[in-house]
Structures are given as C-alpha cells and as structure tokens.
Structure 1
C-alpha cells in the first residue's frame, strides 16, 4: 500500500502576528549591531524570511523610520540610521534632559501594574549581568528605560526617547562587547542597583529623588561611553562632557 508523502505544516500565523515578529526582530538586530549603522535593510529578503508581502513590510519600514531606527530616501534602499559626529553630539546633549523628564513623569503617573512590569524587566536585566550576556544586558536596559517612557504618558517625549535609546543601545553594545574587567563588572552591578533605586522612587512618586537617581545613572553610562569613544590623551570637547 502506497502512502502519500507528508504534507508540510500549514503556517497558521496571521500576517499581523508575523509583522509584529518582524518589527521586534528588526529592532533587536539594529540595537545589537547585527545590522550596523548605515547597513542596507533588504526589503525583499525580509518578505521572504517572515512570509509577508511587500505592502506590510513597507508600512513597517515607514513606522521604523518615524521611530528613528532606519532612514528612508527616495530612490534608495532603506538603511539603518547612521551614527556620526553630529548625531552623537546631539545624543550627549539631549540624553540627560530626556531621561530626567520621562523618569519624573513616570513617577507622577505610574500604576502598580507599571511597577510590576518594570521590576520584571529589571529581573531579566540582572540575570543578563550575572550570565555575562552582553546582548540581553543591552536589550533589557533599553527596555527598562523605554518602559519608563511609556509610563510617562507623554506623546511629545516618547519619539525623542525612542531615538535616544537606539544610539544608547548601540554605543553600549560597542563598549560592552569587549571582555569585562573587574571595574566594568562593578559598574554594571552599580547600574543595576541604580535601576532598583529608580523603581523604588517611581513607586513612592518621589519625582525629585527619581530625577537625582537618573542623573547619576546617566553619568555612569556617559563615563563608559566617552572613555571608549575618546581614547586617553585626547581632550574631551566641553559639549560632550
């Protein structure tokens, strides 16, 4: 008796779900530097990989361009957002202002459900530190501050925060891909402790304490990034200090 060949499994994932998976995957690839600044984002390859037609992929490209992940120009392929002197200068100037504003607003608006979600992200961040998992450490730090931005409930600040976090994650991944020294590990633990204190201040609705903590937290990150970007012996421009 002849048996018919097994039929391939039917893909029951709806296009909307596949589009959400593509969006999350593409964001991860960009902030992890799997897709480096300036890299071409191959639209057709993404269609094939995620089983989507071109219209939803193009729609997602426009959305991600608005968020700052990619750059779209007429008659050119989509590219990952660049990192250059001007963008980095803007990053260092804007970061403390945006982090303080969003964290203070989060302290004013957070619900118990918001706090629980933030603590869960923080748990994954600490786990990544303990496991020396650079990619997830950078990713969950990004998610921690993005969640604070969502808690702020401010439609004007959120686009700026999203764009800021893209370069923060990419700079962090560049710095932390090197073997961790004892001092680096100590400062990562310090950053995790600051996260816990920020959560506590937000939960208490202590906006001033939350602002002071996030300023100290930013300064710790800034020192890491400028130490890497500006080798010893070069003068740090005042605008970046």
Structure 2
C-alpha cells in the first residue's frame, strides 16, 4: 500500500503519461512557491511545455482548482490560489480543528497496514531533516499529515484537510527556507519527534494523546510564522 502526497517528493523516475507529468509538475510548482500565490497560470505555455492539447490541460486545471490549488473565474486567466491576511487568519483558526479531528479519528480507525505506510513516510521525513533538504522536508510533512487524514476514514474532513495542507506546505517553504539556522533545525527535530509520538499514540489507539500531540505540533509552526511576520526590530542607536 503506497501513500500519495499532494505531489511526489523529488525522484529520478520519469513518468510516461504526459498529463500525469503536468499534474505533478504543476502541484510541485505551486507548493514550492515557484508559482507564487496569485500568479497567472499560462494555459498555452503548459500545452507547449508538456506536449498536450488544451482540453486535457483545462480538465486538469479544473481538477486542481476543485482541490484549492488554483482559482478559476469567468473571463480571467487561471491564477494560483492567493495567500493574504484573511486567508492566513482563517488558516490558523481552522487548522488545529481539522488536524486534531483527523488525528483522533486516525487513532480510532487506522489499520495496521496504514500505520506502516505512515512509518515509511516518517522515515523519509526524518532523512530530509537530516539532509537539510527543504523541498523534500515540506513535501514529506505534507504526505505525513495527508496520510493521517486518510487513516481517519472520514470523507467530510478530507477536502478541508487537503486545502489546509496546500497552504501549510507553502508556508513551510516561506519560513523554513534556506539557510536553515540552528534554531530552525532544533524546531524541526522537535517536530520529527512529535511525528514519532503521534504514530505511537495512533498505534496504541489513544485519540486523546494523538489530539494533544498534533495541537502541540501545530503550535511550533504557528510560533515560527509569528516570528516571521513580526521579527524583532533592528537596534538603532538613538542620539540625544
């Protein structure tokens, strides 16, 4: 059983299906911030780059728009989903609710096979932290929390979780950017330990602990974002 994150982490394999290649490339470009929030998605350029006609490209754009990656409006070019003050405010209000709910349900309903998949993703996340590999780190973190959502076995929560993870991954690219400082690395190692503890709570069927752990886990990224948005000011000498 394989887990499929929003995009596949960096691989040397070459997929054969051109539409699948475009799907993975476009998701990666959005999550990695190569395509910035609000940027125009050039449909014709994608057709030329990936050797596709317009109908399959438009079909794919509609699909990822439904998932929250891009915004489609009548008589306007497709645009990457925006991230602004209001969307970030809504994200930080909603994320703990969704993450806690999916983690608690996963602790109740996850199968042994699904837990093994989660452990495999966690091993790759840990390696990415060790390697200080920013892109794979954020993608495997995305894969980890998406797999917990699948383990919850709740079709009502999954669309919200998928949408949250798009912005969570993009935020991760902003404030866990190169160069990774020692302070950031310590936070990442704490986050990795919390992942291990979440797996253990799910495996022993402990929804209360799973929910508390994911709340503490989310607080790490909330604090880092607050530091990024409101950094300590530069000290400027004041002369009398």
Which moved further from structure 2: 133-142 or 148-157? Answer: 148-157
* 1:1-241 mapped onto 2 (5 Å cutoff): 13=16, 17-232=17-232
1:23, 1:205 → 2: CA distance? Answer: 36
Q: Root-mean-square deviation (CA), in Å?
A: 1.4
- What is the Cα deviation at residue 36 of structure 1? 0.7
Deviation of residue 19 (structure 1)?
2.1
TM-score, length-scaled by structure 2: 0.87
TM-score scaled to structure 1, two decimals? 0.87
Report the alpha carbon displacement of residue 210 of structure 1 after superposing the two structures with TM.
Answer: 0.4
Residue ranges of structure 2 left out of the alignment (5+ in a row): 1-14, 234-240
What is the match of residue 238 of structure 1?
Answer: none
Report the Cα offset of residue 215 of structure 1: 0.6
Q: Return the offset for 1:33.
A: 0.4
Instruction: Tell me the secondary structure at the aligned position of residue 98 of structure 1.
Output: helix
Unaligned runs of 5+ in 1: 1-11, 234-241
Mapped partners of 2:132, 2:48: distance in 1: 33
**Structure number, greater radius of gyration:** 1
**Partner secondary structure for residue 127 of structure 1:** helix
For 2:116 and 2:45, the matched residues in 1 are separated by: 38
Once the two structures are TM-superposed, the CA of residue 68 in structure 1 deviates from its matched residue by: 0.5
- The number of residue pairs the alignment matches comes to 219
Distance 1:106 1:53 in 2: 41
